[in-house]
């Protein structure tokens, strides 16, 4: 079985370095998209995405610092970083290594990138 969940708007960025990580499937496409998004102002990003000025500024800053390849210093595991109802329900902080291995094989997190 493969489970798909959507990303969350809220991120916890002070999570541990990469643990049981995988590289996003379409990283090359994401890199091309971010190169274009880097050229937009925070206001234009907000209009394009239909998000608040505060969230647009946060995303603008994320795009400006985007680099591939990722390293353990600049990458976050989505499963640990995302916060929201679905992620709170997962209670990822209580997962064992066995749980993480299973999740890595059976869970996919969708992303706009």
Q: What are phi and psi of 5, to 5 degrees?
A: -130, 155
pLDDT digits (tens, 9 = 90+) for 9-57: 787 877 765 555 667 778 888 889 999 999 999 999 999 999 999 989 9
Res 43: pLDDT? 97
Res 28: pLDDT? 85
Is residue 81 within 8 A of residue 11, CB to CB? The reply is: yes
Could you tell me the sign of the dihedral formed by the alpha carbons of 42, 48, 55, 111, in that order? Answer: negative
């Amino acid at each position: 079985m493969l489970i798909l969940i959507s990303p969350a708007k809220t991120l916890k960025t002070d999570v541990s370095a990469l643990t049981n990580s995988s590289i996003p499937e379409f990283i090359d496409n994401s890199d091309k998209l971010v190169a274009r998004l880097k050229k937009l102002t925070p206001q234009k990003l907000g209009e394009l995405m239909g998000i608040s000025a505060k969230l647009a500024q946060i995303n603008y800053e994320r795009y400006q610092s985007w680099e591939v390849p990722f390293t353990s210093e600049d990458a976050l595991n989505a499963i640990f970083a995302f916060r929201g109802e679905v992620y709170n329900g997962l209670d990822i902080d209580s997962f064992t290594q066995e749980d993480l291995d299973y999740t890595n094989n059976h869970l996919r997190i969708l992303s706009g990138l």
